[in-house]
Amino acid sequence: MTRPTPLSGFPEWLPAQRMVEQQLLDRLRTTFELHGFAPLETRAVEPLDQLLRKGDTSKEVYVLRRLQADAADSSDSGLGLHFDLTVPFARYVLENAGRLQFPFRRYQIQKAWRGERPQEGRYREFLQADIDVVDRAATPESSLPTHYEVELPLVVADALRGLPLPPIRMHVNNRKLSQGFYQGLGLPDPMEAIRIVDRFDRLGPAGVAEQLVVAGATEAQAKAALALADIRTPDVSFADAVAALGVADPLLEEGVAELSAVVEAAAEHAPGLLVADLRIARGLDYYTGTVYETTLLGHESIGSICSGGRYDNLASTGTDRFPGTGLSIGVSRLLGRLFGIGALGASRSVPTCVLVALSTEDARPAAMRVAASLRGRGIPTEVSPSAAKYGRQIRYAERRGIPYVWFPGRDPGDPDEVKDIRSGDQVVADLATWTPPEEDRLPSIVGG
């Protein structure tokens, strides 16, 4: 067999990098649970018609086929891998509505797949960490309270706090604000205007103005739309800037109030996290309120590492609607970048803290008892693979970054000793009580 080569777009980490990823996921999960989000995992596949039901084929769905497929059993034909975690979640909520409690707070950390052309920040297989709150709205008037749009960014900020990551900034807008403004301005198709402004980074201001005019705007309207897209403030002063543009519309006012609430709460609970950025639009049609994108400062080229928004009509049956608000962290995008530039690693390549040395192969059962005793006190321990010369056993530890080697006493009555292989210090140690410094017990994440 020849040595295999990597598949473009399907990243795989080394064990030390996987340890970093796990610690990041642990932090996300613990924080989500501290905020009362329940865990969920959905199957990897969805019926193709569900994946494509918005007519959106740009997600480049991977379709499945059984190699041994037969006509007699077509139960798994027409399936594709999910391209995000929102579509499966909406389907799960519909399917299990009778067994869930609403409002339903859930988090979901899973892989997703898209057959797009691999490039920086875009993978064909990638890990997402999502939080959503979904309610069951039994009447057309009832809906999900807007305070969840205030809460979700605070949960994400809380989750990423204290990790050795570059700082993030969340850019927030509100669909009602944009749509209301374009309505009040008299644009013929406010939703089309949102889609055009969403391409601001690619088109530039002149391109956006041109496209708006193509879509039926006057030069003056296009100019006003650009003026709105230029507003970016770290506080609620965006409201004054909007007012200064002289457009009036009830939906606009609602949007300004909702965005102000988000910005104000963030200023109190997570100062510096968030800016009101009226250029943010998000491409997807289903957003109806707050929309979020997140920049990793200094790494803007990879795109948003946490996006989402409020959606009122993603899932519904004949009788019930399930409005929700969600945010999705792009874990692979974030880590792929930081691993790629060597900005993130682990303090060692194995979980092991102590290697128990062997004087002879016959000493293995006794060494296994030593290891079991240390593990019983939460110290990751393995026994040496062989009774090679001590120098070679120490090198085994060294190559993996295992900080301690334990030498059991050779004869009954001989004391055990433990060596810190970084300093070379070797001391007599009592198996029942010896404890490594807490920072050595488990591998830790180190910034680059």
Q: Which of residues 347-366 bind a second copy (CB under 8 A)?
A: 349-352, 364-365
Shortest Cβ 21–a second copy spacing (Å): 8
Residue 33 touching a second copy (CB under 8 A)? yes
> What track of x and - describes contact with a second copy for positions 241 through 280 (by CB under 8 A)?
------------------------x--xx-----------
Radius of gyration of the chain from Cα atoms? 27
Interacting stretch for a second copy, rule CB under 8 A, among 40-48, 161-169, 203-211, 279-287?
A: 40-48
Among 82, 106, 310, 419, which residue interacts with a second copy (rule: CB under 8 A)?
106
Nearer to a second copy, 145 or 207 (CB): 145
**Residues 76, 395: Cα–Cα separation, whole Å:** 52
3-class DSSP state for residue 96? helix
Shortest Cβ 197–a second copy spacing (Å): 27
> What track of x and - describes contact with a second copy for positions 118 through 157 (by CB under 8 A)?
------xx-------------------x-x---x--x---
Complete edge-to-edge strand list for the sheet that includes strand 381-383: 381-383, 354-356, 404-407, 416-420, 426-429
DSSP string for 148-193:
HHHHHHHHHHHHHTTSS---EEEEEEEHHHHHHHHHHHT-S-HHHH
Residue 386 touching a second copy (CB under 8 A)? yes
Nearer to a second copy, 9 or 234 (CB): 9
Among 50, 233, 347, 373, which residue interacts with a second copy (rule: CB under 8 A)?
50
The torsion of the CA quartet 120, 122, 126, 131, rounded to 10 degrees, works out to 110
Residue 433 touching a second copy (CB under 8 A)? no
Shortest Cβ 271–a second copy spacing (Å): 14
Task: Judge contact between 60 and 83, C-beta under 8 A.
Answer: yes
Among 119, 218, 237, 317, which residue interacts with a second copy (rule: CB under 8 A)?
317
Element (H, E) at 128: strand 125-134
DSSP string for 229-287:
HT-EESSTTHHHHHHTTT---HHHHHHHHHHHHHHHHHHHHSTTSEEEETT---S-TTE
Shortest Cβ 151–a second copy spacing (Å): 8
